Structure 1
Amino acid sequence: MCLINFHLNNHPNYKLIVAANRDEFYDRPTAPAQFWEDEPEILAGRDLLQKGTWLGITKRGRFAALTNFRDPDQMVTGKASRGEIVKNYLAGNTDPLNFLQSLKNSKDNYTGFNVIVGNTEQLFHYNNIENEITEIPSGTHGLSNHSLNTPWPKVTKGKKRLSEYITDQEVIQTNVLFEIISDAEEAQDWNLPETGVSLDLERKLSPLFIKTPNYGTRSSTVLIVGHDDTVTFVERTYEAGELKKENEFSFHL
């Protein structure tokens, strides 16, 4: 997952609103979102290579999502799959702070990552580079491949458009959220971050929705949780940037 825009609390009808993109190599085998056969409480897509996931929610309202921390020095082999972090949180019963404290103790088992864990009313952020656990305040936030609310162009644009939309709407439309995160416009060179990759690659990775010959946005997820504990979870999957399928789930916590 490479971009998570979300709004926590502070809305008359919704506790949590999430609009997120997962970016990955096109040839990495992936299952679309579903309730898992081996963990029936979990609703999430699944990486079929390592059996983890990047974003999910449970029937009890546990929520977690993960992005990589972009740093070429972090790209080493032989470490554990970061997708197991989200899976382990969703499948467990440990409260968020204790889970993250335990994760801090094993942070070197993984290459760079950000993770958000909690429930539909309270969320925490942690990454193993800065190594700090932070409770996320109410409001609109964005997370890409640095830290929470780092003002990369895609994060700034996504937060602004999400905030503007939900401020004016009592009823949130999933199609509008998908429209926000389907923006494929590259950022201007002067506004690009410097993350240790080439300028050409920085350009290609700068949009909210990424499309390159072998890597890009594989799926988009919209999650809406009302104050009445009604959950709407919609996933759109893509092949080389083209919409392949949409799956929608609704349930009550």
Structure 2
Amino acid sequence: MCLIVVGWRSHPDYPLVVAANRDEYYARPTADAARWPDVPNVIGGIDLEAGGTWLGISTTGRFAAVTNVREPAMAKGAHSRGELTRNFLLSASPAGDYANRVDGSRYSGFNLLLSDGEELIYCSNRDGQPRALPPGIYGLSNHLLDSPWPKLLQARRQFATALQQLPDEAGFFALLGDQTIVADADLPKTGVPLEWERLLSAVFVKSESYGTRASTLAWQHSDGTVRLHEQSFGPNGQALQSSVISTSL
């Protein structure tokens, strides 16, 4: 994932709400969001190259999502970051216990959000020890939790408004579809060329070879319903498959 906004116990009827964009090269093989064939209680996409996932939610109340930390000069980790999310979704460990067992040295820079239904844990191998998050709205892109990047600040503001409109989902997909390019003076400096900083400054990224592959809204309702709604995209932002999976705990 390259942008995740999470509402944790910020709505009386929806204890967990997640809006996220996955940015990736279009050529990387991917399975769209669905129940996993081997573990049907888990819902999410699958990275067919490394076998993990960028975001998933389960009918047992578990949730996991990961973003990379943009650090082009660093050596690549030995393991895919997508296995962090997959392994958590397949386990029964409390989120805090799982996060504390993660060996961050095996991976390139990552930010990991984990929930077992009782806690929301933030874990990063670039930001100290894992920690439980109090109720609130949080944002991640390709730096650390709640880094004040322009697109993340705007997405959090729009998320707070959309949260009050549930079960109407339109506001979330509007924020995930924002293609506004940030002015050069406000761009973060992450070590990539200026043209890439511009491209990646939008919430919704599009080009011929790289961009937002999926926009996902996932939530848990207090009545036990779990829902994941994902729209996938191809080169230059062309809309492809739309998937909606809804079930009860």
Short-chain TM bin: over 0.9
| Among 125, 129, 134, the residue aligned to 2:122 | 125
In structure 1, how many angstroms separate the alpha carbons of the residues matched to 2:118 and 2:17?
A: 11
In structure 2, the partner of 1:206 is 201
| Among 119, 122, 145, the residue aligned to 1:148 | 145
Residue deviations 1:107-156 (CA, integer Å, cap 9, x gap): 11111111001134521101101232121121111100111111111110
Query: CA 1:46 to 1:71, structure 2 compared with 1: closer, same or farther past 3 Å?
Result: same
In structure 2, how many angstroms separate the alpha carbons of the residues matched to 1:130 and 1:244?
A: 36
Partner amino acid for 2:178? D
Structure 1 residue 178 corresponds to structure 2 residue 173: yes
Partner amino acid for 1:80? H
Give the 3-state SS of the residue equivalent to 1:108 in structure 2.
helix
Residue deviations 1:65-84 (CA, integer Å, cap 9, x gap): 0000011122x346111100
In structure 2, how many angstroms separate the alpha carbons of the residues matched to 1:246 and 1:175?
A: 14
In structure 2, the partner of 1:227 is 222
Normalised by the size of structure 1, how large is the TM-score? 0.94
Query: CA 1:195 to 1:99, structure 2 compared with 1: closer, same or farther past 3 Å?
Result: same
| Among 236, 246, 249, the residue aligned to 1:250 | 246
Residue deviations 1:155-190 (CA, integer Å, cap 9, x gap): 1010011112324x3x33123211111001111111
In structure 2, the partner of 1:193 is 188
The answer to whether the 8 A contact 2:59-2:226 is kept is no
The answer to whether the 8 A contact 2:95-2:119 is kept is no
The answer to whether the 8 A contact 1:120-1:225 is kept is no
Q: CA deviation at 1:39?
A: 2.0
Question: Structure 2, unaligned stretches of length 5 or more?
Answer: none
In percent, how many aligned pairs have the same letter?
Answer: 39
In structure 2, how many angstroms separate the alpha carbons of the residues matched to 1:166 and 1:23?
A: 23
The answer to whether the 8 A contact 1:8-1:121 is kept is no
Question: Structure 1, unaligned stretches of length 5 or more?
Answer: none
In structure 1, how many angstroms separate the alpha carbons of the residues matched to 2:104 and 2:233?
A: 32
Give the 3-state SS of the residue equivalent to 1:223 in structure 2.
strand
Q: Using the TM superposition, name which of 196-205 and 20-29 deviates more.
A: 196-205
Q: CA deviation at 1:214?
A: 0.8
Partner amino acid for 2:35? F
Normalised by the size of structure 2, how large is the TM-score? 0.96
In structure 2, the partner of 1:7 is 7
In structure 1, the partner of 2:26 is 26
In structure 1, the partner of 2:109 is 112
In structure 2, how many angstroms separate the alpha carbons of the residues matched to 1:10 and 1:37?
A: 32
The answer to whether the 8 A contact 2:232-2:242 is kept is yes
**What CA RMSD, in Å, does the superposition of the two structures yield over aligned residues?**
1.3
